Amino acid sequence: MKPTWCPGCGDFAVLNALYQALAALDLDPKNVVVVSGIGCSGRLPIFVNSYGFHGVHGRVLPTAMGVKIGNPKLTVIAVGGDGDGLAIGGGHFPHAARRNIDITYIMLDNNIYGLTKGQASPTTLQSFQGKSSPYGVAEENLNPIALALAYDVSFVARGYAGQIKHLTDLMIEGINHKGFSFIHALSPCVVFNDTYPYYGKKVTPIAPYENPSNKMRALELWQDKHHIFLGTFYKDETRQTFNERIRDIIGQFPRDDEKYFKELLNRYA
């Protein structure tokens, strides 16, 4: 099925990068699940030849976590927009991070509510003037990278729809990461908030000599006012995943479950 986004939408490039990443990893489509919320990005699973789930607004991460817990062998990729992930779904982000569940979350950030014709989203810059904000935006914008670092996500990266090869490489790295990986994908909306010119002047690759395990350095990079850095900000490969912890807990549980449960009930009888 062909994508139905507006011509020039950055989501085409993100989808293209995902195709290339899945192909490069040689993953069997029947072992891949792409989960989405609501918004333009929510359509993405429809265009991928794998299992997919188009869920309700802001619930992409709980759904994706449920899929992974139900079948840990699956490669689970959650996709959502800046509104879906940082407004109605913002409360799920830190909990996915602290669980360090082994899924990849790609946030397609177009800095606008494009599907509903251009209202300011949590990442819209204050200088943006649209039909619903003709005098600019009253609130300051959220920074997804800053939130991910503060939540202690174990893999944090940023890519750009204008650089598909680089975005593909980040997706490969994120999917291969053991634990919760977050990829902030800058995906301009050419109809309601065309940020291609803005990003074209600001995006800068993170230098290859930067150590991605240095959290303090990652915090300095996102606070740089003159550049929007692209690349892997932070990576912690030492943390245990949620499924590993659950497996350890189950291993400590008495083997005779029925006997244990009856004894437990008798304590209250």
The pLDDT tens digits of the residues spanning 25-78 come to: 999 999 999 999 999 999 999 999 999 999 989 999 999 999 999 999 999 999
Place of tokens 């800068």: 204
Q: What is the pTM (predicted TM-score) of this model?
A: 0.93
Q: Tokens standing for 256?
A: 């005779």
The pLDDT tens digits of the residues spanning 99-142 come to: 999 999 999 999 999 999 999 999 999 999 998 899 999 999 99
Mean pLDDT value across the chain: 94
Taking alpha carbons only, the member of 229, 238, 186 closest to residue 210 is: 229
**Residue 89 to residue 59: CA distance in whole angstroms:** 6
Residue 174, classed as helix, strand or coil, is helix
**Residue 108 to residue 43: CA distance in whole angstroms:** 12
Measured CA to CA in angstroms, residue 142 lies from 118, 121, 245 at distances of 17, 9, 32
Which element (helix H / strand E) includes 105? strand 104-109
